[in-house]
Structure 1
């Protein structure tokens, strides 16, 4: 079954409605990798987590987005690593169009954010933490 959204993208970039998010930028988690896809989720707070973990010092932001082309389950968090798609995470080689900024997402406490950073660092140190690009 295809997810009909709504869809969200978390980032530290300051974007406006109509802007296009595209593939071809460095991974937030492995900066040596240029990503072939743009990633998004149907979970508002999942996008918030991605925004908080994104590289850079700017404020985390969540945007309502719409895919402009076909998309697939994100294999980094679905069947290739975990059963199903519980995070409702997707990726596309086609751009995402920004519809609006979303303000009603749950921010992490500094302690919870540090726990996520520690967990992410541990996963990336493990050879199974390789990004499927």
Structure 2
């Protein structure tokens, strides 16, 4: 895979259940927020704050009891590419402005506000995630 630097200049966001601090570096080679048995080759991020919010809420749902969603402004330290999990395979181009990199992301700040999922949407996602787990499907590879 050849990575290229996108024309997208951000700002960029990362959603997770991890409690991070300004200056922390997110690196590849760690367990997935979604499937802890999967070691990630990339770090995923988006230029859409609410997209990162969705990722954070899903990660918190899949985490231990009491896990809280967090959205961070992040800065890529190297080249990045469109996320092939959602671009071209599922959507033409990159309307989700979703990316991945094997280089670290640096946490710039935590975002306090994003559009939160409604209780109905949370239940819908919970049902989808249960179905995916029961089917042993990969959520993100």
Q: Partners of 1:76 and 1:122 in 2: how far apart?
A: 19
2:103 equivalent among 78, 85, 94: 94
Structure 1 stretches of 5 or more lacking a match?
A: none
Query: Normalising to structure 1: TM-score of the pair?
Result: 0.86
Matched, 1:2 2:13: no
Q: Distance in 2 between matches of 1:78 and 1:123?
A: 20
**Root mean square deviation, CA, Å:** 2.1
Q: What does residue 47 of structure 2 align with?
A: 42
8 Å Cα contact 1:78/1:84 also seen in 2: yes
8 Å Cα contact 1:67/1:97 also seen in 2: yes
Question: What is the rounded CA distance, in whole Å, between the counterparts of 2:40 and 2:74 in structure 1?
Answer: 19
Separation in structure 2 between the aligned mates of residue 79 and residue 120 of structure 1, nearest angstrom: 23
Displaced runs of 4 or more, over 6 A: 124-127
Number of matched pairs: 132
Q: Which runs of 5+ in 2 are unaligned?
A: 1-5
Give the aligned partner of residue 64 of structure 1. Answer: 73
Whether the 8 Å CA contact 1:75–1:132 is kept in 2: the answer is: no
